Structure 1
Amino acid sequence: MAPPPRRRERPVRTLVTLAVLIVALFASIFAGTRWGDASLTPNLALDLEGGTQIILQPVPEAKGDVTAETINQAIAVIRQRVDASGVAEAEITSQGGDKIVVGLPGRPSEETLDLVRTSAQMEFRPVLVMGAAAPTADPTADPATDDAAPSDQPTKAAPDSPSDVAYYVTPAVQKEFEALDCTLPENRTGGVPGDPEKAVVACDVEGTAKFILGPVEIPGADIKSATSGTGATSTGASTGQWVVNLEFTGAGTPKFTEVTTRLAGQGTAPLNQFAVVLDALVISAPSVNEVIPNGQAQISGSFTRETAATLANQLNFGSLPISFEEQSVQQISATLGSEQLQKGLLAGVFGLLLVVVYSLFQYRTLGLVTVASLLVAAVITYGVIALLSWVQGYRLSLPGVAGIIVAIGITADSFIVYFERIRDELRDGRSLGAAIEKGWERARRTILASDAVNFTAAIVLYLLAVGGVRGFAFTLGLTTIVDLVVVFMFTHPLMVLLGRTRFFADGHPASGLDPRRLGVDVARYAGRGRVKQGVEQRTGSASAREPVAVGAPGLTIAERRAAARAAGTASAPPQDPPTTTDDEPTTGRPEGSDR
């Protein structure tokens, strides 16, 4: 049975496709500079560009002390606001255990600064309407300015309760709810609490749902404590499900009893739910199944250990609302970061030169393929980072630069693996075209496995780290992907084309594929059933000519037959021509025939 035909490679088409993608990448950036706010250079982070530093002093609004847990929760709230507003590489840390330092790169807008300064508040509101996160109406319509905007006046003189939908869900509120798109990060920045006496429209933290909420019934200050753990039955046996146990203060207990009495009587969702609102975002919306008279509630659901602990910490933060007193706002320079960047770039250039020198020394002209591949990888990486700076607000930090420098070694390693595989195949006696094809099949698996490990490590580091370390992980993962693109769409197709040239196919001494330098010890196939004999093999300081090994590995059928004939001709001693007598029949071939 004949083997399946090999797919014909089209290296020129692959190279043209890569060139089109690169042109499209930079064309989009150029278009952004002309018709948008894009820049030809990537945005830089705080350590490289400088920016604004704000020092906040948390001040408790209720009786109590500002604890480390309160500071950490406040930092988490501020970080969520800043990240959702599109500002990348912000530095938010605690100072002295009782202050919060916020560093924003570049020149942040006044809206971003207001998000940082605004106090975080927790409140309990009844759920009036709940829907999908996507908008169901034109999101550009503004009910506050549209001449045809519906009225914001209630249809009743007074509400029957905070859950009165007819009173609180006015046409204007309904239209705002329909136009809200909670899938957009900018609509989940929080930080602006609504009027406590009116209905508000809010998104959940994850951007999976949106709500119309009634007025505030219980403030966060009425929470005494919150803990996470596994639930228990009435007999005390563990259910194995993670829950959050909530306890209210003496002032909050009667309020919560009244709320649960009314919500438990509603019967159906979402009117039997109350929303826990932190920083103007819904962090939980549990339903009420029964009246809770003692101020001790249990929130259950599809919690894990981590999500239950997170909700408990957020509820504890709500038990001590704090405001921020702005101590100082100053512009900070990037002098130290600039010096470190110069040294980092110098180290990167020096490392790149070492890779180039090694490639040219080890692979001769073939090393130029490494240089060209590194240049293509650098161009693609620069273009992608510039595009992300415009589209996603990404900022390049000093750890990010370190990730790019590390990628030089990762990219060079892929080329070395590929080239060495090709040279191994040449040592087995294959022609250059066959060596490139077979070497690529073997090197491809190694490159994919190596880059998969690097990319997995980058993902894990990005998910577990914060701040500048995430910048390192991001660029490491990005350059790993770029490495695969360059090897598959540039290096390999270029090698296929070079393999068709006489300079490389004939093993020119300067090509890096010289058979004598590689120590090839078998004849090379010359076509038409012929092999080139006398290929030199290095043995110490001298070289010797040896005959073809008939059983050498890596030979095709035609090569083996030619080698067998050559070996037979070289080793057979001359013999006299056969003679015949009258008593013996002649069985030889006609004179002049070689068959």
Structure 2
Amino acid sequence: MVVALFATLLAGTRWGDAALTPNLALDLEGGTQVILEPVPEVAGQVTSDTINQAIAVIRQRVDASGVAEAEITSQGGDKIVVALPGRPSEATLDLVRTSAQMEFRPVLVEGSPTPASAGTDPSAEPTPPADDTTAAPADGATGDPAAPADDATDAAADPAATPEPAATDGAADAAPSDEPGKAAPDSPSDVAYYVTPAVQAEFDALDCTLPENRTGGAPGDPDKAFVACEQEGLAKYILGPVEIPGADIKSATSGLGVSSSGVQTGEWVVNLEFTSAGTPKFTEVTTRLSGQQRPLNQFAVVLDALVISAPSVNAVIPNGQAEISGTFTRQTAANLANQLNFGSLPVSFEVQSEQQISATLGSEQLQKGLLAGIFGLLLVVVYSLFQYRTLGLVTVASLLVAAVVTYGVIALLSWLQGYRLSLPGVAGLIVAIGITADSFIVYFERIRDELRDGRSLGAAVDKGWERARRTILASDAVNFTAAIVLYLLAVGGVRGFAFTLGLTTIVDLVVVFLFTHPLMTLLARTRFFADGHPASGLDPRRLGVDTARYVGRGRVTTPGQRSKGTSDAPTTREPVTVGAAGMTIAERRAAARAAEASATPPQDDPPTTGTTDAPADGRPEGSDR
């Protein structure tokens, strides 16, 4: 495993952008700080909710771009401070600088999120059920319902709505044309005008399953078609020009739907209300879309260049009050309402300052943290050697293997996942030294307990492992659960501590199962440990074994005697307590025989010939005594 881990890293340094050292977070390396200041069109529009929603959008962009350990906070209640570790790319900085904008565009083409195969027309592919939401009048009135998704005809089924072919056979290598197929559009939903060969080619090549294509960013030209991904990567769209800007939204709320009779339906919905300027625009849009088939009866809500919802229109909505329903949960409905509210605020952001910042803690604090870890490791080593003699070297070797595996995994995650090691993460690694050493101590003490019960070292290792394994698994399960809860509930640097704590817990299990236990099994076969050498840490006298030990076939050994059953050397048995706790039946019988033999007095040799002197008591010879 270690060889495979570092071979992957070496291959990454040779043919990729990997490094043998992990990336450091903002507190250890420094980075780039961008301060954004809101520019409202109307006084009083900047509130704490506005700032919080903007922070959420920026955080989504940064996380999707693969940058870890970024700090995004508010400053003074009206500014946003974005601190990115290291030297972020220009593309990542553009994601931070660009203001989020919401807009409503009609859906022209909806397709699978994966790239189209060569020679296929994505408009003829089955429409994925990415968004089954519908927009209806908020008062519960219904119009002609749109055709269900399963029975809906595709946009390509309408000859007037069929996109132009992307390229002809004679111009296979030529760049797709961006010229529309007609002089002017009939409506914003005119597929033949807006879906040019260039737009179609962009749509075909787009892969919305890739996270980098769902980072958001600048919106497209409001007067042209726009290709966008659904925010979760479930579908991709060709959208028409902007018909309603986000500023025309007055409010959006989530709650349980209410029927026309005033009875709650039990279905979570989003209620959308437009301003006086947006109401006639929305009426015009719903009038046109309600008579179309899917996907032309849908309008897309685009936030930060991503489609957050694409409901279909069931009826004309003349009063500017719509209800968006579908497969919402309480949380998803609330999230969509918050996004709509944020998009309705006429607030944009401008970059107030952008500068390089030094590490807030720096290399000095990192060195002190590493010294603390090394000092703690040395204390563990000293204690292990003092307590377990040579057996303590197994602890040292296991800790070294755990350190090598942990380092390799962190370096690999830095390359593949953009992970960055922060000072709280270093603290998690230091705490893991005690957790890892605790597993070894539990195992060794179980082995010594089995030796005290009279088992040979090989049997003690196997039996001790069975008992220690349950304890180690229970202990690490508690640590790992605590790390997960801490990671999910905490924010900022505490999550770095929780991550390394959970990672090292997994590494601890791997090392104990795949290194420590197999190593002990091998050492149990050596004469040095099996005979209980005083320096081995398994000396019976040091373990307090002061009774005979059963070695099989009715034989027992005393402290200091070899436990191998093949030894024929005579030994002197010390008195034992018959029926002592922990002794088996065979041990008790053997101990009883030994005790009886040692307690029987020696008898005189019988007389050979002749007579003997009369006894001192005067009794006749041969009489009973």
Please give the TM-score of this superposition, normalised by the length of structure 2.
0.82
Who is 2:276 aligned against?
250
SS in 1 for 2:74: strand
Q: Indicate the larger mover: 432-441 or 332-341.
A: 332-341
Distance 1:242 1:103 in 2: 37
Partner residue of 2:539 out of 484, 489, 514: 514
Distance 1:302 1:355 in 2: 56
Cα gap change, 1:522 to 1:258, in 2 (>3 Å): farther
Cα gap change, 1:129 to 1:513, in 2 (>3 Å): same
Cα gap change, 1:243 to 1:93, in 2 (>3 Å): same
Distance 1:136 1:567 in 2: 90
Who is 2:84 aligned against?
104
Cα gap change, 1:445 to 1:72, in 2 (>3 Å): same
Cα gap change, 1:549 to 1:264, in 2 (>3 Å): farther
Partner residue of 2:508 out of 483, 506, 522: 483
* Equivalent residues of 1:533, 1:548 under 8 A apart: no
Cα gap change, 1:344 to 1:554, in 2 (>3 Å): farther
- Residues 381-403 of structure 1 show CA distances to partners (whole Å, capped at 9, x for unaligned) of 11111111122221111111111
Cα gap change, 1:306 to 1:574, in 2 (>3 Å): farther
Shift of 1:549: 4.0
Distance 1:344 1:34 in 2: 31
Who is 2:214 aligned against?
188
* Equivalent residues of 2:402, 2:511 under 8 A apart: yes
Cα gap change, 1:338 to 1:321, in 2 (>3 Å): farther
Cα gap change, 1:522 to 1:148, in 2 (>3 Å): farther
SS in 1 for 2:23: coil
Q: Indicate the larger mover: 294-303 or 399-408.
A: 294-303
Shift of 1:535: 7.2
Partner residue of 1:553 out of 564, 578, 582: 582
RMSD (Å), alpha carbons: 2.6
Shift of 1:492: 0.7
SS in 2 for 1:512: coil
Partner residue of 2:266 out of 240, 251, 268: 240
Shift of 1:511: 1.6
SS in 1 for 2:326: strand
1:396 aligns with 2:376: no
Distance 2:189 2:582 in 1: 84
Shift of 1:168: 2.2
Who is 2:160 aligned against?
none
1:34 aligns with 2:10: no
Who is 2:147 aligned against?
none
Distance 2:8 2:172 in 1: 35
* Equivalent residues of 1:85, 1:189 under 8 A apart: yes
Please give the TM-score of this superposition, normalised by the length of structure 1.
0.86
- Residues 288-343 of structure 1 show CA distances to partners (whole Å, capped at 9, x for unaligned) of 22222111112222222222222111111101142222221111112633333233
Who is 1:372 aligned against?
397
Partner residue of 1:306 out of 331, 334, 337: 331
Cα gap change, 1:117 to 1:457, in 2 (>3 Å): same
- The letter of the residue matching 1:78 is I
1:204 aligns with 2:184: no
* Equivalent residues of 1:522, 1:535 under 8 A apart: no
SS in 2 for 1:377: helix
* Equivalent residues of 1:522, 1:549 under 8 A apart: no
Partner residue of 2:176 out of 120, 126, 150: 150
SS in 2 for 1:243: strand
Cα gap change, 1:75 to 1:100, in 2 (>3 Å): same
- The letter of the residue matching 2:211 is P
- The letter of the residue matching 1:343 is K
- Residues 433-475 of structure 1 show CA distances to partners (whole Å, capped at 9, x for unaligned) of 1111111112112212222222222223223333322222221
Cα gap change, 1:343 to 1:195, in 2 (>3 Å): same
Q: What percent of counterpart residues are identical?
A: 84
Who is 1:22 aligned against?
2
Partner residue of 2:248 out of 211, 222, 244: 222
Who is 1:5 aligned against?
none
1:294 aligns with 2:323: no
SS in 2 for 1:511: coil
Who is 2:300 aligned against?
275
1:88 aligns with 2:68: yes
Distance 2:580 2:294 in 1: 81
Cα gap change, 1:280 to 1:173, in 2 (>3 Å): same
Shift of 1:92: 0.8
Who is 1:169 aligned against?
195
Distance 2:340 2:601 in 1: 99
* Equivalent residues of 1:123, 1:278 under 8 A apart: yes
SS in 2 for 1:303: coil
- The letter of the residue matching 2:40 is P
Distance 1:384 1:546 in 2: 57
Cα gap change, 1:532 to 1:115, in 2 (>3 Å): same
- Residues 216-241 of structure 1 show CA distances to partners (whole Å, capped at 9, x for unaligned) of 11110001011122222233333333
* Equivalent residues of 1:226, 1:312 under 8 A apart: yes
Distance 2:227 2:601 in 1: 102
Who is 1:583 aligned against?
none
Distance 2:595 2:559 in 1: 12
Name stretches of at least 5 consecutive residues in structure 1 with no aligned partner.
Answer: 1-20, 537-543, 578-595
Name stretches of at least 5 consecutive residues in structure 2 with no aligned partner.
Answer: 120-165, 562-572, 606-625
* Equivalent residues of 1:78, 1:116 under 8 A apart: yes
- The letter of the residue matching 1:553 is G
SS in 2 for 1:438: helix
- Residues 220-277 of structure 1 show CA distances to partners (whole Å, capped at 9, x for unaligned) of 00010111222222333333332221111001111111222222222x4322222111
Distance 1:506 1:370 in 2: 21
Shift of 1:377: 0.7
Distance 2:360 2:75 in 1: 22
Partner residue of 2:529 out of 504, 510, 516: 504
Cα gap change, 1:576 to 1:269, in 2 (>3 Å): farther
Matched length: 545
Who is 1:124 aligned against?
104
